[in-house]
Copies of this chain bind each other. A is one copy, B any other.
């Protein structure tokens, strides 16, 4: 009953494994050390994959990309969803998608400007990447409401940032979830920034977790860099929601180490010191310290982990980059189910021009 015990209105928050890898035994969840090790390895791959995306963008091989650096433990929450649960991401969930099993190559391909990168997500019950801040919580409420109405035990977990909580659509989603008691888990990764705007300018409430109270359900604030807290909160929230005990809000306190996106220069608005002050809270460091205290991690092993990660990531890059580019005609075939004559004429117009000009994309 973590949600009752840690009352955000009283300023309480859940932390189980601290930054030095020490565990509060009383709160320790049923997460085996093997599983933790495994999570550490996947989170390490996630970090490398993320850094690689940044580099690809810098080299002009990828478009704008929103890194997850620093938020790996929060993103790993996706690993704690059931097979039948739904994952509803924003643009900053490459790590969550990766943990859910979306191929890295597909994620890359999407950010390389090709919608087809995400083909296959339906089988994983993952919804498409949402770019409009705050619009996807309503989809999560809707899909989980459908599950409830259809008598299917399945939860929708929706990811969004601290900034998203200022949008009207966040409010509407929370309110519908409360009224219809939908099995929705709202996951706010509070990474302290919405681009340049700090958390305290987003809202004057002390926590984001306490906002759940305004909708008649429970919220909890946890340290989102602590994978044990993430696991424990996810477990309780998903089982509460799944069993009809209502929606839940989890505020995961974390910190965005990187830029907002590759298009952003955080030195413009963030002091170097602030960043440095947060670095010791890195979600991977504490895992390393914990595992190493158990003799389950060493510098040498780290090299092996990184080598394997590198191979995995490089392969994904290769797959993504060798995918054939979409046909220009694709523009015309994905908007409507049916063919429409006036659009068909536009397609023919474009194809005729391409033939005339020998196929090159006009501005390419």
A190 CB, nearest partner CB in chain B, Å: 15
A61 an interface residue at 8 Å Cβ cutoff? no
A331 an interface residue at 8 Å Cβ cutoff? no
A19 an interface residue at 8 Å Cβ cutoff? no
A167, A168, A169 — most chain B CB neighbours (10 Å): A168
Whether B214 contacts A201 by the Cβ 8 Å rule is no
Of all chain B residues, which has the CB nearest A200?
B179
Whether B210 contacts A215 by the Cβ 8 Å rule is no
Partner of A215, one of B9, B203, B216: B203
**A248 to chain B: which residues have CB within 8 Å?**
none
Q: How many copies does the complex hold?
A: 2
A181–B175 Cα distance when bound, in Å, is 24
Whether A178 contacts B166 by the Cβ 8 Å rule is no
Whether B213 contacts A9 by the Cβ 8 Å rule is yes
A34–B170 Cα distance when bound, in Å, is 48
Partner of A205, one of B9, B167, B202, B216: B216
**A175 to chain B: which residues have CB within 8 Å?**
166, 202-204
A211 CB, nearest partner CB in chain B, Å: 4
Q: Which A residues from 202 to 223 make CB contacts under 8 A with B?
A: 202-206, 210-211, 213-217
A312 an interface residue at 8 Å Cβ cutoff? no
Whether B214 contacts A214 by the Cβ 8 Å rule is yes
Q: Given A168-B167, A179-B203 in contact, is the A213-B214 Cβ separation under 8 Å?
A: yes
A206 CB, nearest partner CB in chain B, Å: 7
**A213 to chain B: which residues have CB within 8 Å?**
9, 205, 210, 213-214
Q: Which A residues from 159 to 184 make CB contacts under 8 A with B?
A: 166-172, 175, 178-179, 181
Whether B216 contacts A206 by the Cβ 8 Å rule is yes
Question: Could you mark each residue 1-21 of chain A with 1 if its beta carbon is under 8 Å from any beta carbon of chain B, else 0?
Answer: 000000001000000000000
A298–B69 Cα distance when bound, in Å, is 76
Whether A202 contacts B179 by the Cβ 8 Å rule is yes
Of all chain B residues, which has the CB nearest A203?
B175
**A204 to chain B: which residues have CB within 8 Å?**
175, 178-179, 181, 215-217
**A201 to chain B: which residues have CB within 8 Å?**
179
Question: Could you mark each residue 268-292 of chain A with 1 if its beta carbon is under 8 Å from any beta carbon of chain B, else 0?
Answer: 0000000000000000000000000
A213–B213 Cα distance when bound, in Å, is 9
A184 CB, nearest partner CB in chain B, Å: 13
A172–B205 Cα distance when bound, in Å, is 13
Question: Could you mark each residue 229-266 of chain A with 1 if its beta carbon is under 8 Å from any beta carbon of chain B, else 0?
Answer: 00000000000000000000000000000000000000
Of all chain B residues, which has the CB nearest A211?
B214
A204–B246 Cα distance when bound, in Å, is 11
A216–B210 Cα distance when bound, in Å, is 10
Q: Which A residues from 126 to 170 make CB contacts under 8 A with B?
A: 166-170
A211–B166 Cα distance when bound, in Å, is 14
Interface residues of A (CB under 8 A from B): 9, 166-172, 175, 178-179, 181, 201-206, 210-211, 213-217
Closest 5 pairs (CB-CB, A-B): A168-B168, A204-B216, A171-B171, A178-B204, A214-B214
Given A175-B202, A175-B204, A203-B215, 10 further pairs, Cβ under 8 A: A9-B213, A166-B172, A167-B168, A167-B172, A203-B216, A204-B215, A205-B214, A205-B216, A211-B214, A213-B214
- 15 CB contacts below 8 A, A to B, read A9-B9, A166-B172, A167-B172, A168-B169, A171-B171, A171-B172, A175-B203, A178-B203, A179-B202, A179-B203, A179-B204, A203-B216, A204-B215, A205-B214, A206-B216
